[in-house]
Amino acid sequence: MSVLTVNAAERERLLSTYPDVFHRSFMQRWGLLIVAVCVVVYIAFCFSFFKIIPTFANGNWDRAAVYVQDWYSWRAQPRLRFQNGKVVPQWTSRGQYPQGAEIDWLKPTAKGGYTVLFGGDNRLEVTPTQVDVYLDGKYYPVAISADNALLPAGAPARMEQDGNKVNVYFGFAGQAEIRPTQVYIQRRFLGWANFFFDTQSPFWGRSITEVAGLMVAGERIDPSQSNASLALDNFLNNASWQHGDILSKLMQTLVMAFVGTLLATLIAFPLAFIAARNITQSKAANWGMKRLFDFLRSIDMLIWALFFTRAFGPGPIPGIAAIFFTDTGALGKVYAEALENVDDKQREGVKSVGAAPVIVQRYGVVPQVLPIFISQSLYFWESNTRSATVIGAVGAGGIGLKLLESMKTNADWDKVAYMVLLILLVVFVFDNVSNALRSRVMGKKGR
């Protein structure tokens, strides 16, 4: 292994020829380390200032787990009230069972009470004076007085005293609140109850093959229409899931995104020519138009939606206006920057033949920037498909408002999951359509 030696003269020549290499500044030597230390200190400050660790430690994770379960399951929630020495069930859920239906997990007893089955060896025997709890086959009696439900001695952790009531937890299968006047049951099942047909439909409770058979070759249930038409009508007008209303609101959201983006494109296109310094020679016009674009895009779309909702009331018009105002500013800025970077040779060539200014822009500028304009508009259209959902939640209409309504009930999280999946599906489709169109416009068809 040879070692290269440099004499003093050569060393001085190198130092004088490449001073930046051998005499680096303080920031060049230590800048990266300083930035890294500052980032670490800033992150630590944020963790302390926003109390991130205590917030996570004190979070209601058990409640969050229940919400997640509600996305992919449903709860039947009867209240077993004590009235005149009997147990009377009253339903508070979305009507998963028709009136008078026999329920396999809720059975009346000969003594005027009810047995609630939670799977396996877990169940409740409910009477007006006592509730017998069976957990994994073990028996725990809960005595009921006029003022209290009392936790029995030796009860496991899955049973707890909460004021004058006793809570019993059966895991995913559900839970029960035993109170002096009633037993509130939450019985959980996988899937979405009555997703296709509600309990009023003649197709309720039938299997998919039975419904398909009726639609294809069965005798007409309603003489005035075919079974296929009746099934579609029952599906769209499902009282629990409201498919027709949800799909209508989803289409409203798509129309808001499309119309808002289209109007913004049509208005931003000519205004960008005024903002471009190489197209319009008036500095005052350039400055004024760019400041208008800054104003329109600096106000968030959500703020515009709130403003127009107050002006026009709830509905799609505020949503369209919010998208239009915000995108006019954003697209105008992008278009103007594209115009300021065009190749002047093509424009000068058209101008040299004596063409009018409008013709010069039409044939010397527009062909250069049109693919960029279309690509940007398609991208904004794709993005606005998602944004329209958010602004809908503040009253601008569409599926966002429907989503917020379901979340406020705190009992329709399965419906929330349904609408979220619809939104994800639509966004996925529009992303792919937009990407395909942009690739064609930009000349990347084969990629």
Q: What pLDDT, on the 0 to 100 scale, is given for residue 382?
A: 85
At 170, is the pLDDT very low, low, confident or very high (cuts 50, 70, 90)?
Answer: very high
pLDDT at 3 over 60: no
pLDDT: is 20 or 73 the higher one?
73
At 333, is the pLDDT very low, low, confident or very high (cuts 50, 70, 90)?
Answer: very high
Distances (CA, A) of 413 to 70, 184, 241: 5, 20, 12
Residues 116 and 176 sit within 8 Å (Cβ to Cβ): yes
At 200, is the pLDDT very low, low, confident or very high (cuts 50, 70, 90)?
Answer: confident
pLDDT at 250 over 60: yes
Q: The pTM is what? A: 0.77
* Mean pLDDT of all residues in 70-86: 88
pLDDT at 315 over 90: no
Residue 428 token pair: 């996925």
* Mean pLDDT of all residues in 108-115: 86
pLDDT digits (tens, 9 = 90+) for 386-401: 888 888 887 777 888 8
Positive/negative CA dihedral, 131, 135, 136, 137: negative
pLDDT digits (tens, 9 = 90+) for 343-390: 777 777 777 777 777 787 777 777 888 888 888 888 898 888 888 888
* Mean pLDDT of all residues in 61-72: 81
CB atoms within 10 A of CB 431: 14
Share of the chain above pLDDT 70, in %: 95
At 23, is the pLDDT very low, low, confident or very high (cuts 50, 70, 90)?
Answer: low
Contacts of 417 (CB under 8 A, 6+ apart): 71, 72
* Mean pLDDT of all residues in 172-198: 91
* Mean pLDDT of all residues in 92-113: 83
pLDDT digits (tens, 9 = 90+) for 401-416: 888 888 887 778 889 8
At 187, is the pLDDT very low, low, confident or very high (cuts 50, 70, 90)?
Answer: very high
* Mean pLDDT for the chain overall: 85
